[in-house]
């Protein structure tokens, strides 16, 4: 009797568990998720699957922040600390969603590109069979990436919160005037910025919206965050790089409501009486790397950074 009772418990403890998070809007990712699940089960592994939509926070539809979900409550069922790793099938958006779901549980992500840019991904579908063998054997490196915790507060009450790998953007609504922001970084005196909006970016996010807005590229291992005004109305308002241990509070100094977006896939309205608090999260996004990360190579392959110039001929022969 006792052995029969213990068998299910022992099975849960002894059978390695792997997760699959996939972009369910892409047929390629859906098919791959089914095929990979069958293969892993055939290897004797327990497999849990979930669509990446669980980490997409959505947008508020009214004037107030809605649907607050605590940062550590987004993981799908059975995705927990017992999981060896999770395979992410999709593009960068799916990876961002998965990191938000799984970072609180410390689950490493093996990101497989089935999208376009794939800046955060590690491998491709056609390479996955051999890559899985390598990862199951434990032959990989885990790279930790800084995340930020974003809270929208009224006085001391938290109205909305999110975990963020790339960036937090606070900007004006369409057809409104330029905004003013009073920003306090750590113990330092507040500064006033007049701009269309502001971005607070992690090193990972420095190659996303921050790059397009004219910010600096920061290598992932540097322990800093970046504050970047969007279209500032001042020659003095430029990107500021500061230590990641410094918390930031943003006070909207404009009478109009603003819009906040995190990682491009969730957000809420920010009213003049609210404050936005941003700080380094205690959670880190963990990425499986098959070899030591080479950030400059990724910059070169994905964004064309540092490509050699083609030398011009020293002389031209006329016909």
Q: Which tens digit of pLDDT belongs to each residue from 107-126? A: 999 999 987 778 899 999 99
* Residue spans of alpha helices (H) in the chain: 2-14, 27-42, 92-102, 128-136, 209-212, 295-303
Given this model, what pLDDT does residue 60 score? 60
Assign residue 174 a region: left if phi > 0, alpha if psi is -120 to 50, beta otherwise?
Answer: beta
Q: Which of the residue ranges 107-111, 173-177, 273-277 would you say has the lowest mean pLDDT?
A: 173-177
pLDDT top residue among 3 and 54: 54
Q: What is the Cα gyration radius of the chain?
A: 22
Q: pTM (2 decimals)? A: 0.87
Instruction: Report the percent of the chain where pLDDT is more than 90.
Output: 61
Q: Output the average pLDDT for the chain.
A: 87
- Please give the Cα distance from 225 to 95 (Å, whole number): 20
Decide if 192 is catalytic: no
Annotated binding residues, written as ranges, equal 92-93, 166-167, 196, 207-212, 265
CB 160 within 8 A of CB 271: no
Given this model, what pLDDT does residue 283 score? 96
| Domain-wise residue ranges, the chain | 17-145+284-303, 147-282
Which residues make beta-bridge pairs with 113?
Answer: 90, 124
Paired sense of beta strands 109-113 and 123-124, if any: parallel
Paired sense of beta strands 17-22 and 46-51, if any: parallel
Which residues make beta-bridge pairs with 157?
Answer: 154
State the architecture of 17-145+284-303 in CATH terms: 3-Layer(aba) Sandwich (3.40)
Mean pLDDT, range 128-143, rounded to an integer: 92
- Please give the Cα distance from 52 to 37 (Å, whole number): 16
CB 79 within 8 A of CB 19: yes
CB 200 within 8 A of CB 278: yes
CB 238 within 8 A of CB 213: no
The torsion angle over the Cα atoms of residues 198, 204, 209 and 211, rounded to 10 degrees, is 100
Q: What is the CATH class of 147-282?
A: mainly beta
Q: What DSSP designation does 180 have? A: E
Which entry of 38, 78, 80, 92 is annotated as an active-site residue? 92
CB 15 within 8 A of CB 46: yes
At 22-75, the pLDDT tens digits run 998 889 999 999 999 999 999 899 999 998 887 766 666 555 555 577 888 889
Annotated binding residues for NAD(+), written as ranges, equal 92-93, 166-167, 196, 207-212, 265
Q: What tokens does 22 get?
A: 């996939």
Q: What tokens does 293 get?
A: 């990360």
| Confidence label for 267 from pLDDT (cuts 50, 70 and 90) | confident
At 225-237, the pLDDT tens digits run 999 999 998 888 8
Nearest to 166 by CA among 263, 276, 266, 249: 263
Q: In what side-by-side order are the strands of the sheet with 167-172?
A: 58-59, 266-270, 258-262, 167-172, 197-201, 224-230, 240-243
> Using CA of residue 263, residue 264, residue 266, residue 270, what is the dihedral sign?
positive
């Amino acid at each position: 009797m006792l052995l029969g009772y213990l068998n299910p418990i022992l099975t849960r403890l002894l059978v390695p568990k792997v997760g699959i998070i996939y972009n369910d809007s892409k047929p390629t990712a859906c098919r791959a998720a089914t095929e990979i699940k069958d293969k892993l089960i055939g290897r004797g592994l327990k497999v849990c699957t979930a669509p990446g939509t669980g980490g997409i926070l959505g947008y508020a539809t009214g004037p107030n922040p809605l649907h607050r979900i605590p940062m550590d409550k987004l993981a799908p069922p059975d995705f927990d600390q017992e999981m060896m790793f999770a395979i992410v099938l999709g593009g960068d958006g799916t990876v961002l969603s998965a990191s938000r779901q799984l970072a609180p549980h410390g689950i490493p992500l093996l990101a497989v590109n089935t999208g376009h840019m794939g800046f955060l991904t590690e491998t491709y579908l056609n390479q996955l069979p051999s890559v899985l063998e390598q990862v199951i054997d434990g032959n990989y490196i885990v790279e930790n990436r800084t995340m930020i915790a974003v809270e929208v507060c009224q006085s001391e009450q938290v109205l909305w919160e999110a975990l963020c790998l790339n960036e937090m953007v606070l900007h004006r609504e369409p057809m409104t005037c330029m905004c003013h922001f009073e920003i306090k970084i750590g113990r330092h005196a507040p500064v006033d910025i007049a701009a269309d909006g502001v971005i607070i970016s992690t090193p990972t996010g420095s190659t996303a919206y921050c790059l397009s807005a004219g910010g600096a590229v920061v290598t992932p291992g540097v322990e800093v965050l970046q504050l970047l005004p969007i279209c500032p109305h001042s020659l003095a308002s430029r990107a500021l790089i500061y230590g990641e241990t410094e918390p930031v509070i943003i006070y909207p100094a404009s009478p109009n409501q603003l819009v906040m977006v995190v990682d491009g896939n969730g957000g809420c309205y920010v009213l003049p009486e609210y404050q936005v608090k941003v700080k380094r999260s205690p959670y880190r996004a963990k990425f499986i790397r098959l070899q030591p990360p080479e950030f400059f190579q990724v910059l070169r392959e994905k964004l064309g950074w540092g490509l050699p110039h083609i030398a011009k001929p020293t002389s031209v022969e006329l016909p």
